[in-house]
Amino acid sequence: MPIRNSYKLHHKRVWRVTGFVASVNGFLCYAMSSSFKHLFGEWNLLKTILYTLLSFSISTMMLFPKKCRLSKSFLLKAYVGVLVLLLTSLYSLFDDKSNNGKPDLLSMISSASFAFMSLSLSRQIDLGFEAELLNFFLGCLTIQLMKINLMLSIVAAIFCYSLMILRSKSEPQPQSRTLRMQDHVQ
């Protein structure tokens, strides 16, 4: 029994560290990308402070997801889900308007990092929007790769497929969860 609990704890730590590193990498790469400059303009003190606070807050939440969990209330989950949907849609709208040319490498790295961050988030909390957030960032990465060269859509498809498989394989199966609960009761 201690081995199984130790494995679960280690598994949770891996997802926490993966999410934290991915979020830091994503925010740094996005801050240095041409997409940020097109969308928000050149850096100034106010932008630096706001971006640092936002990225620090989100990256810190990746390290401590249990402490940042929201209530299990359906209404609260719906509000958070709609907020995330609106924010990603708004980001997509402004990103599409600002990016007429080919994306740079830093933009693609930030999209891939945010996809890993979303995968990590989906393994740690259950608010209902984590898988959609993963799909959004994978879609952004796919579009960016396709803008460079249509043949890169194969690379995008392989990357998306591997993350989807990783997400589905790492989810606890309902049958195994029921068996573990039965073993614990007996």
Question: Hey, where are the domains in the chain?
Answer: 2-65+73-80+104-185
- pLDDT of 28 reads 92
**What is the pTM for the complete model shown?**
0.73
Q: Report how far residue 92's alpha carbon sits from residue 141's, in angstroms, rounded to the nearest whole number.
A: 12
Q: How many CB atoms lie within 10 A of CB 60?
A: 13
Which of 40-54, 89-103, 117-131, 139-153 has the lowest average pLDDT?
A: 89-103
For residue range 99-128, what is the model confidence (pLDDT) as tens digits? Answer: 666 778 888 888 889 888 888 887 777 766
DSSP 162-182: HHHHHHHHHSPPHHHHHHHHH
186 three-class SS: coil
- Give, as one character, the DSSP assignment of residue 65: T
pLDDT at 186 over 60: no
Q: Which of 85, 86, 109 lies closest to 36, judged by CA?
A: 109
Q: Report how far residue 13's alpha carbon sits from residue 76's, in angstroms, rounded to the nearest whole number.
A: 27
Instruction: Give every CB contact of residue 178 below 8 A, 6+ residues apart in sequence.
Output: none
Q: Report how far residue 44's alpha carbon sits from residue 24's, in angstroms, rounded to the nearest whole number.
A: 20
pLDDT above 90 covers a percentage of the chain that reads 7
Q: Average pLDDT, whole number, for the chain?
A: 75
Q: What angle do CA 20, 23, 27 make, to 5 degrees?
A: 145
For residue range 147-161, what is the model confidence (pLDDT) as tens digits? Answer: 888 888 888 889 888
- pLDDT of 71 reads 55
